[in-house]
Structure 1
């Protein structure tokens, strides 16, 4: 992922933090629901190891995706919008150029 030298005002930082937290909460809530469903279906030892592998993969994905560094935040937001965890209208108040970049990256 390429870094960006984009500057973030104090207001934009607050908007970005709130949007970031909303997306994280949505995704982790969906993950917890999926884990509960998978755990309730465990009947054999193999099922447990499959759940372990699933959890390891998801942890790796989440740890990499939710990086709140301003230098990569535009790319993170575009990915979250693309995946459905965040909506462009939740970024209202950010500089128009930032929102335009995020929207453009979601179409790639």
Structure 2
């Protein structure tokens, strides 16, 4: 089971770098969208919609940003699916771990 996989110190470094890169990408995309919505807001109700958008995205990202090793392969699959992470950044993880990530991706495509 993927929850019980062992992580070498080299894999942990790769995982941390990939995770941090994906978080940075996700936050940058939210920032771009926020700025676009804020500039376009012309009424008080549109202003509150911007706040609602930020609240919703924060909740979504807080749920996704989970650095527990027992959850990390699923998190990486989510990052790849949301285009926050290029799978190439996971080079160096074991073939087994990369295959599990791919299986999560294929399940989501169904």
TM over 0.5: yes
Partner in structure 1 of residue 16 of structure 2: 17
- Superposition TM-score, scaled by structure 2 size: 0.92
The Cα shift of 1:96 comes to 0.8
Following TM superposition, by how much is the alpha carbon of 1:99 offset from its aligned partner in structure 2, in angstroms? 0.3
Structure having the larger proportion of residues in helix = 2
Tell me how far 1:5 sits from its aligned partner.
1.3
1:88 aligns with 87
Off by >3 Å, runs of 4+ in structure 1: none
* 1:14-93 matches, cutoff 5 A: 14-93=13-92
Deviation of 1:3 after TM superposition, in Å, equals: 7.0
Provide Cα deviations, 1:4-57, integer angstroms capped at 9, x if missing partner.
Answer: 111111100000000001111111111101111100011111011111111110
In the TM superposition, what is the alpha-carbon distance from 1:87 to its structure 2 partner?
1.7
Q: Which consecutive residues of structure 2, in runs of 5 or more, have no partner in the other structure?
A: none
Distance 1:95 1:68 in 2: 18
Check whether the contact 1:88–1:103 (CA below 8 A) recurs between aligned residues.
no
Deviations 1:48-90 (A, max 9, x none): 1111111110000011101111010010001111121112211
Note the aligned Cα RMSD (angstroms). 1.4
